[in-house]
Structure 1
Amino acid sequence: MMEWLLWGILPYAVLVIFIGGHLIRYQYDQLGWTVKSSEFLSKKDLRYGILLLHWGIIFVLIGHVLGLIVPKGVYDALGITKDAYHYLAIGAGIPAGIAALIGLLLLVRRRLTNPKVKQTTSKADTVALLALLVVVGSGLSATFMNIDSQGFDYRTTISPWFRGLFYLNVQPELMTEVPVWFKTHVLAAFAFFAIWPFTRMVHVFSLPFMYLTRSPMIFRKKRKNNAA
């Protein structure tokens, strides 16, 4: 029953919250649909933190797509052995995860130690950052725990379970023998996606298309009027 609850029911519950939360947020809180930039308050640690976090997350997501979405049979057909795939995943995944973690820690420190930024930080901002920290940290820990090429192969368990959710072929039994550090990472990701619609993370879906068509903005320097 617990396996069905965690790996059969919870994923769809999170999906409903994720989609429904965004629809409700957009309907009733469009003015709050923003990243709430604090760059004008302080640029210290922001540039490096943002770059490391965003680029790290991008490469981490690419790794997750290649590991979870692409079936193991595709790699076998291409002649990519288990060891070759493992070394590629470790060699690219660990640097990307470390970059994302360092960037996130810089942003968390900035939020907690800079008086101006801290004053404008909401509870939702804090929860989102801490939740993301748990997701990145648990994912990086799982990677380090599985650094041995003869270790756990998630492509035969987590990957088919994850793909099955999309075409309603729920197989929670595939998650039974998954190591606890991988389960922790998955559950942390579920928690993060559940709170996503109610935080500043909604800005991910805000594409600046209006900037392509809006009229240019003209800025003029104010001149002082000298008395005659």
Structure 2
Amino acid sequence: MNVSATGLLLWVAFPFACLAVFSAGHVWRYRRDQFGWTSRTSQLLEHRWLRWGSPLFHLGTFLVIAGHAVGLAVPASWTEAVGIGEHAYHTMAVWAGSLAGAAMVAGLGMLCARRLLSPRVRPGTDLGDKVLFPLLSATVLLGIGATATHNVFGGGYDYRETVSVWFRGIFTFQPQPEAMTGAPLLFQAHALSACLLFAAWPFTRLVHVWSAPVGYLVRPYLVYRRRATAARPAARGGARSGRAV
């Protein structure tokens, strides 16, 4: 199948360029900004929205990534070989993905609203955040829109015959752009926005993903001591010392 120059640009040159920026950008960031390799917590500035938004977003994100890893990286023949038929896989993927996506959207919405509405958090929003949050929101909403349009309310679309083939071809250096040229527009837009997200990744707070501790979801954000609690034992100790002297 012949692919136009635009198809080659969008589905071969552009993804490889984004992956190159992703790889080189992480090396640059690590060498130039190791102290900035963090999510830059703002819990001290506002914690009510963060308490719910952060766990929902991170849990939903991990589940969405796991679902994408299976759907994009694992061929349909492999899931069928272990006894998971196409209908069962499709049903499980749609509903599990919808729940994970809903959690991710709810959490992301809270975090974005917190950035925009909290007068204490808003001044700490830098250029990286201003790029990341809209791009991440667009990627998530396009993915949910594609699933809802074609697999929930539509007649069903097997992305593993097109998007997955193209995805695996990029990472095996055997690109198959023709697999994407016939995909629905929403799936194409979702894929392109995901490529942009990968390119922006090393220059934003997303780099903290590689440094997250194993117990991230269950650990407290940070442990702080109240000033009054810390001062009270010192005062009692001082009184005892005075009496002894």
Asked if TM exceeds 0.5, the reply is: yes
1:40 and 2:44 correspond = yes
Alignment partner for residue 171 of structure 2, among 166, 189, 197? 166
> Residue 11 of structure 1 is aligned with which of 12, 15, 18?
15
Residue identity matched to 1:74? W
Equivalent of residue 201 in structure 2, options 193, 196, 221: 196
State whether structure 2 residue 66 is matched by structure 1 residue 57: no
The question of 1:107 aligning with 2:111 is answered: yes
Match of 1:183, as an amino acid? Answer: Q
TM normalised by structure 2 equals: 0.84
Query: How far apart are the structure 2 equivalents of 1:191 and 1:166?
Result: 16
| Structure 1: distance between partners of 2:125 and 2:182 | 41
How many residues align structurally?
220
In structure 1, what is the Cα distance between the partners aligned to 2:50 and 2:198? 24
Structure 1: runs of 5 or more not aligned: 210-218
Q: Which has the larger radius of gyration?
A: 2
Structure 1-normalised TM-score? 0.90
How far is the alpha carbon of 1:81 from its aligned partner?
2.6
Deviation of 1:221 after TM superposition, in Å, equals 2.9
- Selected match of 1:68 from 63, 72, 81: 72
Structure 2: distance between partners of 1:2 and 1:193: 21
Separation (CA, whole Å) in 1 of partners of 2:88 and 2:155: 12
Query: Does the residue aligned with 1:146 lie in a helix, a strand or coil?
Result: helix
Letter in 2 for 1:195: A
* Structure 2 residue 151 is matched with structure 1 residue 147: yes
Task: Report if aligned partners of 2:76, 2:86 keep a CA contact under 8 Å in 1.
Answer: no
Equivalent position SS for 2:48? coil
Alignment of 1:176-191 (within 5 A): 176-191=181-196
When residues 208 and 71 of structure 1 are mapped into structure 2, their CA distance, relative to the original with a 3 A threshold, is closer
Question: Aligned match of 2:230 in 214, 217, 221?
Answer: 221
Moved over 6 A (4+): none
| 1-structure distance, mates of 2:72, 2:205 | 27
Deviations 1:47-106 (A, max 9, x none): 110111011111111111111111011123234332211111111000110110010000
Shift of 1:162: 0.9
Could you tell me how far apart the structure 1 residues matched to 2:95 and 2:28 are? 41
Does structure 1 residue 116 correspond to structure 2 residue 120?
A: yes
